[in-house]
């Protein structure tokens, strides 16, 4: 999962996130949680056009954020869809409806993710369990 802010030169697997305890009014990830991966077989999308748009196969780029031909992204950890902002980072703007079929897309699970991680009571600098870096955490709740 690769939401929100910059790639930087840090280890992208280290989830640097702002918890409610530090900043009660912010739910932002400062760094991508994991490297970009194609959605798993568990991910179900609204229409064939969305599935096609989410397919990423580029010989010149390693992920859709680097490729100007890639328009939409699905973040399986947060169960959210977005329009990619091609600014050199892993940024996207959330969308509520499919641009092709008009279907209502799922509500982002971002707040539930933060609530679940906060409820673990982890010490500062301790990463959440591995399931929180995949969509598995949503299926267990």
pLDDT tens, position by position, 75-118: 999 999 999 999 888 889 999 999 999 999 999 999 899 899 98
Residue with the bigger pLDDT between 66 and 36: it is 66
**What tokens does 80 get?**
């959210």
Coil/strand/helix, residue 115:
helix
Choice among 4-8, 40-44, 61-65, 72-76 with the minimum mean pLDDT = 4-8
Contact 33, 128 (CB under 8 A): no
Residue with the bigger pLDDT between 139 and 17: it is 139
β pairing state of 91-94 and 72-75: unpaired
- Alpha helical stretches, state H, 1-141: 48-54, 110-119, 136-140
Q: Domain ranges in the chain?
A: 1-141
Average pLDDT over residues 38-58: 91
């Amino acid at each position: 999962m690769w939401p929100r802010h910059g790639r930087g030169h840090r280890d992208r697997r280290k989830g640097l996130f702002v918890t409610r305890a530090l900043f009660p009014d912010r739910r932002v990830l400062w760094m991508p949680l994991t490297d970009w991966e194609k959605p798993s077989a568990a991910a179900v999308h609204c229409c064939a056009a969305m599935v096609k748009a989410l397919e990423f196969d580029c010989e010149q780029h390693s992920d859709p954020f680097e490729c100007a031909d890639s328009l939409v992204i699905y973040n399986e950890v947060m169960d959210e869809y977005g329009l990619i902002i091609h600014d050199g980072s892993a940024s996207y703007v959330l969308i509520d409806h499919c641009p092709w079929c008009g279907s209502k897309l799922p509500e982002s699970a971002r707040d539930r993710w933060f609530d679940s991680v906060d409820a673990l009571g982890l010490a500062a600098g301790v990463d959440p369990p591995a399931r929180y870096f995949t969509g598995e955490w949503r299926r267990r709740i």
